[in-house]
Structure 1
């Protein structure tokens, strides 16, 4: 059975896509059958996986509105090795079209169900808002991975996100839970970041992943080459952190 995880945060620019792409590649390298779903109309996870979004004939948009099945939409990442349900700007139109469809918030879950045995991990890269697209991701998932920077504004947004997850759990998806918080873009030289990190550990306990992803230039360069950072430069500290995070995820799902 596939374990389905949303990588979500209502705040933009916190490393959701970087986390999704690198975790997918690291899980693939660890021998896990992995599918990455790009639910963001910007298509950054698609491009970061080495898939050209402008030349797509079918995308996750076609899957959500019922024009294509999963088998017709998925492609393989030539650089990362995992499968991808790619996205492009067509997906922005799905927001409007989904409103009038039956079970609009569960379209993704229903599309994934027949392929449950094909994968060990399914990762969903959500847009930075609680839209119908994000709601589809949350309704399909078993849990949420929250990447966050150790800064004051990130703490403010975290309470809103946890509240949204609780509402989805209560009303739409009883399986949904917060799997853990991943500290990203971390700079140990900044006292505030150390303080916020300690606050997170004190408040959330073992919900905070042990792995910490440092601020890393090589991770930032990798998308321009159409590949995950863990492939682009395996020796970089950021890549090694995502490999450690993947190992931690594999262990954590055994206890779910």
Structure 2
């Protein structure tokens, strides 16, 4: 069955888009058919995968409003994943959806029309807890939370967890919170470990392994329109490959997701 994984955190700059692009490319390299969905009006995922949002005629905006079919908006990428792109028009979709009944289910209904064509659907939620993120959480089977390993990183995590619980109670009872993905991790410092230990203790969240290291390769990949997995091997691509492999083992064999047991 198709697995739908939302990547969500209302805080910006936590590597949500990098995580979706990199995990998607790593899963494609494992011969999985992958659809990635850009739910951010800024179109960062769309841009980072080699498409200019300003030059797209059909996007997730039209799909959510029922003005176009998903298949009419899909584009290919050099990383082997299929992209449902976003444009700045998506900012207006949020206001329009608010006036519609069943607004939280718009994405779920749309994905259902193409789900059988993909093994995995990855949702890049915007840095907010508005109706677009609610659509992502309602459509997903599971959600992970990228969290940068820096002071005050957990600000807002409690609010996100409340939103997840409300979605579980109202629109998506089957939604499972898999845990935190540590990003921007610097193994040379105890500070990164302290931040993760605080989050794990305070919110009782699993911290998934491996941590994603801080590396300039991510910025270079975004600028070139491909994921960090393209080109030479580096510690960032290695970490995302391991994370993707862990997810596959979890989905296929019900193997426990690897966690950082020694945090703190």
Q: Pick the TM interval, shorter chain.
A: over 0.9
TM-score (norm 2): 0.91
Q: Could you tell me how far 1:196 is from its partner in structure 2? A: 2.1
Measure, in 2, the Cα distance between the counterparts of 1:189 and 1:240.
18
TM-score (norm 1): 0.94
Q: Which residue of 2 aligns with 1:165?
A: 164
Q: Which residue of 1 aligns with 2:67?
A: 67
Measure, in 2, the Cα distance between the counterparts of 1:131 and 1:246.
28
Aligned length: 254
Give runs of ≥4 in structure 1 deviating > 3 Å: 198-206
Answer yes or no: is the 8 Å Cα contact 2:35–2:118 preserved in 1.
yes
CA RMSD between the two structures: 1.6
Answer yes or no: is the 8 Å Cα contact 2:70–2:113 preserved in 1.
no
Q: Which residue of 2 aligns with 1:107?
A: 106
Measure, in 1, the Cα distance between the counterparts of 2:65 and 2:218.
34
Measure, in 1, the Cα distance between the counterparts of 2:249 and 2:143.
16
After superposition, the C-alpha distances for 1:221-245 in whole angstroms (9 at most, x for unaligned) are: 1111001011143x11101111111
Measure, in 1, the Cα distance between the counterparts of 2:2 and 2:85.
19
Q: Which residue of 2 aligns with 1:209?
A: 208
After superposition, the C-alpha distances for 1:97-148 in whole angstroms (9 at most, x for unaligned) are: 1122231110010111122211111000011110111111111001111110
Structure 2 gap segments, 5+ residues each: 256-264
After superposition, the C-alpha distances for 1:184-214 in whole angstroms (9 at most, x for unaligned) are: 1001222221222334456677832111110
Measure, in 1, the Cα distance between the counterparts of 2:235 and 2:58.
36
Answer yes or no: is the 8 Å Cα contact 2:41–2:89 preserved in 1.
yes
Q: Which residue of 1 aligns with 2:14?
A: 14
Give 3-state SS (helix, strand or coil) of 1:222's partner.
helix
Q: Which residue of 2 aligns with 1:248?
A: 246
When residues 96 and 201 of structure 1 are mapped into structure 2, their CA distance, relative to the original with a 3 A threshold, is: closer
